[in-house]
């Protein structure tokens, strides 16, 4: 699932009926790709969220016939784009041969 930031609301007066009254949000990924997601969670603009794609995006909506392909699933409690996560908890010598390929 994608980690994206909610940038704005998307205003579309002319749209297909298959979207119903779903709210549309402009979201941006860490790589700068801007796209549109449906938002059953109601995330404030500026917050980092994670969103599911493909057929799962429809299942994440209250109305599973909504023809979205990207749906916001949750608001991340803490996320800092500048500080990528670092896997500190595990050293290569942990159980099993660890992450080194002979």
- Considering only residues 6 through 65, tell me which ones interact with a second copy, judged by CB under 8 A: 6-8, 10-16, 18-19, 24, 26, 28, 30-37, 40-41, 44-48, 50, 52-60, 65
- Under the binding rule (CB under 8 A), the answer on residue 89 touching a second copy is yes
Buried b (16+ CB within 10 A) or exposed e, 41-58: bebeeeebbebbeeeebb
- Under the binding rule (CB under 8 A), the answer on residue 102 touching a second copy is yes
User: Is residue 43 within 8 Å of residue 3, measured between CB atoms?
Assistant: no
CB of 69 to a second copy, least distance (A): 5
């Amino acid at each position: 699932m994608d980690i994206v930031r909610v940038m704005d609301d998307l205003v579309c007066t002319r749209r297909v009926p298959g979207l119903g009254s779903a709210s549309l949000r402009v979201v941006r990924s860490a790589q700068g790709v801007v796209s549109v997601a449906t938002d059953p969670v109601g995330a404030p603009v500026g917050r980092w969220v994670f969103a599911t794609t493909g057929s799962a995006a429809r299942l994440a909506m209250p109305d599973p016939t909504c023809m979205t392909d990207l749906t916001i699933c949750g608001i991340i409690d803490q996320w800092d784009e500048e500080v990528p996560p670092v896997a500190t908890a595990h050293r290569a010598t942990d159980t099993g041969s660890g992450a080194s390929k002979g």
